[in-house]
């Protein structure tokens, strides 16, 4: 009875707040967590720990939704001294604690750290470190059932990379694969292994290589409404369960042995020359803001990394422009390699305030024949 009353009060409060979403000047407030929680019937809370969250997915606030507009700018009638102090701390590179966010589906709401979010958005940051509690919707729509399956999969595996499926029941098949993989690893190593550890090995040595092969074969072009993960489930289940092999063309059958562990051994022993499409170089540009007094030392530190090919001191909104050439390993994705280098090497240099990563889509390098005529 107490829980039902709590839910009724939350819904009543949310309905009331929705009538006051503007300050009368046409400036809409950020989204109200209580209102969205009531609409989604999302009261099943699950701690997700620390994650880096894209700022454009932080859309609302738990208690101060009337104090900020949709761009998370403070309303004109509110004092800004605290916001200015937070911005100054960010400019100086002083450490700030992670913000605390509530999550409903793909959107985040600020529980603690509204000024840090506002400052980060105003200063052009891409993401922010946050401690997250997710609230899972309970209504039995097809979308919500699939969402709950994904949430359960995340709870079991603790994988940091999301796997997006569009069909109900797919995550159960992946959990079955991981359980089988765990049993294999325990037999092979003669030791116990946690499910999360087995899931991480499955993702690195089985899921990522197979999705890379599927991507190379351009199978997703024939299934525009399906994700790469959907195709992984379909192919892996038919190849490895019950001997239900299919012919997929594009050389996929030759690339995928008849069972999962043979595939893993093949990928672990593969030579880079056998899969040149998985080992191409990656060109990345990183825009860096630094503390002015430390710029020289930061440049010296950046030159120590072989992957960094060019460093330019520039004028404008950023201080340094860095060109990086990375090589993707056989069992990694572009995003993983880039994120690993930026977060574990560049961002660890003292005095760096913020970074922004740019990945070129198409590039053209001028040669001698392209030079202008005298």
**pLDDT tens for each residue of 106-153:** 899 999 988 898 888 888 888 888 899 999 888 888 888 888 898 899
Residue 363 lies in a domain: no
Is residue 252 very low, low, confident or very high in pLDDT (cuts 50, 70, 90)?
Answer: low
Residue 312 pairs in a beta bridge with 321
Beta strands in the chain (DSSP E): 31-32, 42-54, 58-61, 99-104, 107-112, 127-137, 281-290, 308-313, 320-327, 352-358
11: pLDDT confidence band, cut at 50, 70 and 90? very low
Domain check: are 74 and 113 in the same one? Answer: yes
Does the residue 370 lie in any domain? no
Q: Is the pLDDT of residue 330 over 60?
A: no
Are 148 and 240 part of one and the same domain?
A: yes
Percent of the chain with pLDDT over 90: 20
> HSE-up of 296 (CA within 13 Å, CB side)?
1
pLDDT for res 331: 47
CB-based burial, 100-113: b 16+ in 10 Å, e otherwise = ebbbbbeebbbbeb
275 has pLDDT over 80: no
- Residue 249 sits at the vertex; the CA angle it makes with 244 and 254, to the nearest 5 degrees, is 70
372 lies in a domain? Answer: no
Q: What is the pLDDT of residue 195?
A: 95
Residue 250 to residues 215, 217, 339, Cα–Cα distance (Å): 11, 6, 31
Q: Please, what is the average pLDDT of the chain? A: 79
Q: Please identify, among 139, 170, 186, the residue that sits at the C-terminal boundary of a domain.
A: 139
Identify the CATH number of the domain in which residue 97 sits: 3.90.1530.10
What CATH number is attached to the domain comprising 300? Answer: 3.30.70.920
Are 7 and 135 in the same domain? yes
Residue, of 232 and 276, whose pLDDT is higher: 232
Beta strands 107-112 and 127-137 are unpaired
Please state whether beta strands 58-61 and 31-32 pair in parallel, antiparallel, or not at all (unpaired).
Answer: parallel
* Inside any domain, residue 364: no
Residue 368 lies in a domain: no
- Judgement on whether residues 250 and 157 belong to the same structural domain of the protein: yes
Query: Can you name the residues that pair with 102 across neighbouring β-strands?
Result: 109, 133
Summarize the confidence of residues 64-74 as an average pLDDT. Answer: 72
Answer for the pair 183, 309: CB distance below 8 angstroms, yes or no.
no
Whole-Å CA distances, 203 to 9, 182, 212, 332: 43, 12, 12, 10
The dihedrals phi and psi of 45, each to the nearest 5 degrees, come to -90, 135
196 and 263 assigned to the same domain: yes
**Strands (DSSP E) along 222-328, which ranges?**
281-290, 308-313, 320-327
In a shared domain, residues 135 and 148: no
Task: Tell me: do 325 and 305 sit in the same domain.
Answer: yes
Q: Domain boundary residue among 215, 242, 269?
A: 269
Residues 324 and 291 both lie in one domain: yes
Task: Give me the half-sphere count of Cα atoms (radius 13 Å) on the Cβ side of residue 127.
Answer: 12
- Residue 208 maps to a domain: yes
Contacts of 243 (CB under 8 A, 6+ apart): 258
* Residue at a domain's end among 225, 249, 269: 269
For residue 54, being part of any structural domain is answered with yes
Contact assessment for residue 90 and residue 353, using Cβ atoms and an 8 Å cutoff: yes
Same-domain pairing of 149 and 135: no
Give the chain's domain count. Answer: 3
Interval 24-59: pLDDT, tens: 444 577 788 988 999 989 998 988 888 888 888 998
Question: Is there a single domain that holds both residue 134 and residue 195?
Answer: no
Residue bearing the bigger pLDDT, 175 or 239 = 175
The answer for residues whose C-beta is within 8 angstroms of residue 215's C-beta and 6 or more apart is: 228
99 plus 156 within the same structural domain: no
140: tokens are: 């039995």
Same domain, 265 and 225: yes
Residue-number span of the structural domain to which 109 is assigned: 2-139
């Amino acid at each position: 009875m107490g829980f039902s009353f709590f839910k009724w009060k939350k819904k009543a409060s949310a309905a009331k707040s929705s009538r006051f979403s503007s300050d009368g000047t046409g400036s809409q407030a950020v989204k109200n967590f209580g209102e969205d929680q009531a609409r989604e019937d999302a009261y099943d809370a699950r701690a997700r720990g620390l994650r880096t969250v894209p700022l454009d997915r932080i859309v609302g606030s738990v208690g101060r939704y009337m104090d900020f507009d949709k761009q998370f700018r403070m309303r004109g009638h509110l004092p800004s001294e605290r916001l200015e102090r937070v911005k100054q701390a960010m400019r100086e590179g002083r450490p700030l604690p992670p913000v605390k966010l509530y999550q409903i589906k793909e959107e985040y709401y600020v529980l603690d750290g509204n000024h840090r979010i506002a400052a980060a958005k105003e200063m052009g940051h891409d993401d922010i470190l946050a401690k997250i509690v997710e609230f899972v919707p309970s209504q039995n729509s097809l979308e919500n059932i699939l969402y709950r399956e994904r949430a359960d999969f995340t709870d079991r595996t603790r994988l940091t990379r999301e796997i997006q499926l569009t069909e109900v029941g797919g995550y159960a098949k992946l959990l079955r694969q991981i359980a089988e993989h765990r049993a294999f690893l325990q037999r092979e190593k003669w030791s116990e292994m946690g499910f999360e550890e087995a899931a991480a090995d499955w993702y690195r040595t089985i899921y990522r290589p197979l999705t890379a092969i599927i991507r190379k074969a351009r199978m997703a072009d024939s299934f525009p409404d399906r994700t790469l993960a959907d195709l992984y489930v379909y192919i892996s289940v038919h190849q490895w369960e019950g001997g239900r092999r299919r012919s997929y063309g594009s050389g996929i059958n030759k690339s995928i042995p008849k069972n999962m562990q043979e595939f893993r051994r093949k990928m672990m022993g593969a030579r880079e020359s056998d899969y040149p499409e998985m080992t191409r170089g990656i060109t990345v540009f990183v825009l860096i803001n630094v503390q002015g007094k430390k710029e020289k030392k930061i440049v010296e530190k950046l030159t120590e990394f072989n992957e960094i090919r060019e460093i330019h001191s520039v004028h404008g909104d950023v201080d340094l422009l860095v060109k990086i050439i990375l090589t993707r390993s056989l069992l990694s994705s572009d995003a993983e390699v880039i994120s690993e280098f930026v977060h574990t090497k560049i961002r660890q240099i003292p005095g760096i305030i913020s970074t922004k990563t740019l990945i070129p889509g198409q590039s053209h390098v001028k040669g001698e024949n392209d030079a202008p005529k005298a």
